[in-house]
Copies of this chain bind each other. A is one copy, B any other.
Amino acid sequence: MRNKLIVQKYGGSSVANVERIQKVAQRVAGYHKKGVKLVVVVSALGDTTDELVELAGKINSDPSEREMDMLLSTGEQISVALLAMALHKLGCKAISFTGAQVGIITDSSHTRARIIKINADKTEEELKKGNIVIVAGFQGISVNQDITTLGRGGSDLTAVALAKELEADSCEIYTDVEGIYTTDPRIEPKAAKIKEITYDEMLEMASLGAQVMQARSIEVAKKFNVPLHVRSSFSQKTGTMIIKEVKMMEDVVVSGITLNKNQSKITLCGVPDKPGVAVKLFQELAVAGVSVDMIVQNVSHTRLTDISFTVSKNDCAKAVKIAGAAAKKIGSENIQIDEDIARVSIVGVGMKSHHGVASKMFGILADNRINIEMISTSDISISCVIKKKFAETAVKKLHEEFGLSKRG
């Protein structure tokens, strides 16, 4: 029987200083001494990446993306060398590698590169020698031999991709929280840690506002069926397993509740209700790189209609400019902007087989006198836009009524 192989990923807060690096080394050494084969993916120390970005900004406000990758990739390289030294100190055999050295081949889209393939020979060779293989997360090398980075959440992606390539028994994502919660514990102290959640639910939660893992890494894990274990580097407790299918005694309809207060709502009022009018507007927004989240077009009884959509606050100014120009062209009456909104969402694969989940959600909000301004649904989620001031109340009431405090 071959030894168990685990890929572990430690985020920046887990290696923020010398003491924490030593703690991580102790944890890794513990596994190693039990005979587990280990590949450890590490992010840059604490705020290193932010500091490097700031330094670059002082020199060039619009730095070349290739050079940014050259600069930022040093952060993870420092981490891996230090972690290797810490493991040597504990008497473990360990060797560190950059993304390039460990064969993470990407395309040439600097600052947001996509992994094309992984040449895992080097890693396998070092594992055979009994080494703990420490890999700089977040980075790779293009076919032109340029250093690339994978964008936000890139270290998670490195870990997931390596776990897939090496057919690891599990992929542990260490972070500063103990797992995935039914909702943000800062809003609802009764929020419970979820034992198991499906890729789809986690994807939905990530895209709706849960910030523990980026959607991209979960997508890759889902695609290749890599089981993820999200857990804390500060405790020994089991965290949350993200897997393909969750087997439970009783059906859980709603798995989690997410909140996003970082959106603005833009409304074009009095738009002529003709086919193709909305298409043009959203095409222009897409070309400008504005990602539109929810869209609602009122069914009209006159020849005029209202079109509302939400965008991330970052994109609001750009979106308003484009919508303004569009409004003039199509003869819209005026534009309204509402920065005072929140999107609250319920997520759960159980919705597929349960009816009445949406109406239950709407009922809960209505009972608490919370008006719904926009609605959007997917197979496994329902989102409502409400006034921002009701956001926390909505989360708490939904958490309670859908019985989430009990799960764990």
Contact = CB atoms under 8 A, between A and B. Distances in A.
A89 interface: yes
Given A95-B66, A145-B101, A81 B88 contact: no
Contact of A63 (B59, B66, B88, B98): B88
A58 B100 CA distance: 27
Contact of A58 (B18, B74, B80, B96): B18
A146 B59 CA distance: 31
B67 A78 contact: no
Most chain B CB within a 10 A radius of its CB, from A18, A85, A86: A85
A68 interface: yes
A80 B70 contact: yes
A262 to B, nearest CB: 30
A352 B58 CA distance: 55
A55 to B, nearest CB: 7
A144 to B, nearest CB: 10
A156 to B, nearest CB: 22
A278 interface: no
A56 interface: yes
A14 to B, nearest CB: 15
A220 interface: no
List the number of copies, as a whole number.
Answer: 2
Contacts of A21: 59
A81 B85 contact: no
B59 A86 contact: yes
Contacts of A96: 67, 70
Interface in A107-149: 122, 145-147
A85 B56 contact: yes
A124 to B, nearest CB: 15
Most chain B CB within a 10 A radius of its CB, from A70, A73, A84: A70
Interface in A59-95: 59-60, 63-64, 66-68, 70-71, 73-74, 77-78, 80-82, 84-86, 88-89, 95
Contacts of A85: 56, 59-60, 63-64, 67, 71
Q: Is the interface of A mostly helix, strand, loop or mixed?
A: helix
A52 to B, nearest CB: 7
Contacts of A305: none
A22 interface: yes
A85 B67 CA distance: 7
B74 A86 contact: no
Contact of A71 (B56, B60, B70, B81): B81
Contacts of A52: 78
A406 B195 CA distance: 84
A147 B73 CA distance: 14
Contacts of A55: 18, 82
Interface in A209-232: none
A71 B64 contact: no
A71 B146 CA distance: 19
Given A52-B78, A59-B18, A89-B60, A84 B67 contact: yes
A68 B86 contact: no
A22 B78 CA distance: 25
A70 B81 contact: yes
Interface in A31-63: 52, 55-56, 58-60, 63
B84 A70 contact: yes
Contacts of A122: 145
Given A55-B82, A56-B85, A74-B77, 20 more contacts: A18-B55, A56-B82, A59-B85, A59-B86, A60-B85, A60-B88, A60-B89, A63-B88, A64-B84, A64-B88, A66-B95, A67-B81, A67-B84, A67-B85, A68-B81, A70-B80, A70-B84, A73-B77, A101-B147, A122-B145
Closest 5 CB pairs of A and B: A71-B81, A74-B74, A70-B81, A60-B85, A60-B89
